Structure 1
Amino acid sequence: MLNLKKLHHIAIICSDYERSKKFYIEVLGFTIVQEVYREERASYKLDLALNDQYLIELFSFPDPPPRPTRPEATGLRHIAFEVTDVAAAIQQLQAKNITVEPFRVDEYTGKKFTFFADPDGLPIELYEI
């Protein structure tokens, strides 16, 4: 047994660094922990936190290949964040011109949830707690 403690971070490669940086900071509310430019890779690495918890590494690379990101594609299905009010979160995202699916209800828990996408189409879920 590995004795894992918790999720440390999620690494995301984006196609347009400035657009994704703006999305994760201005739309989702992440804060910058550290931003570095790695000249040998022609790549930025942006460490982001949510509520003072380090969660996401956002990378830029020259011409990254596209990857299927629909929820049913092989690999990472989506990332999910807890919210207290899905309907209010949907309204806030729509006010920023973010397309959001209508909320659904989890058949097992009775909780509301919805999906939207980051600038590269990575599915993001909001799950009401």
Structure 2
Amino acid sequence: MLGLKQVHHIAIIATDYGVSKAFYCDVLGFTLQSEVYREDRDSWKGDLALNGRYVIELFSFPFPPQRASRPEACGLRHLAFSVDDVVKAAACLEAQGVKCEAVRIDPFTGKRFTFFNDPDGLPLELYEQ
């Protein structure tokens, strides 16, 4: 048996590292655990934690290609975050200038959810616990 335990981290490449770092930390509430500039690659790497748990590796690279996003492109579809109240969380994002889609109901679980985008258009989801 392979023995996978959990997802260790998610790597995200940003076109503007500072803008994305501010979005994930100041808007979404992640904490910057460590940060390094890799001069040989002209690249920043930040390790971001959510509630003390390392979750996201945030990178910058010079001139990254655009991400194929819609409609339903192959690859990572979206990154979802669980919240206690989707409507309240979406209102918090909207108050900070982050546009959210209309809240929908998952037909299989009956739970509420909505989507929004990070500064590079990466689709993110809020999903009610």
TM bucket normalised to smaller = over 0.9
Match of 1:126 in 2: 126
Deviations 1:61-92 (A, max 9, x none): 01111111237111000000000000001110
Match of 1:13 in 2: 13
Unaligned runs of 5+ in 2: none
RMSD: 0.8
TM score, norm. by length of structure 2? 0.98
Match of 2:23 in 1: 23
Match of 2:60 in 1: 60
Unaligned runs of 5+ in 1: none
C-alpha separation in 2, matches of 1:74 and 1:83: 27
Match of 2:88 in 1: 88
Deviations 1:3-42 (A, max 9, x none): 1000000000000111101000001000011000001100
Match of 2:2 in 1: 2
Give the number of equivalent residue pairs.
129
Equivalent positions of 1:101-112 (< 5 A) are: 101-112=101-112
Percent identity (aligned): 63
Tell whether 2:69 aligns with 1:69.
yes
Kindly report structure 1 stretches of 4+ aligned residues shifted beyond 3 Å: none
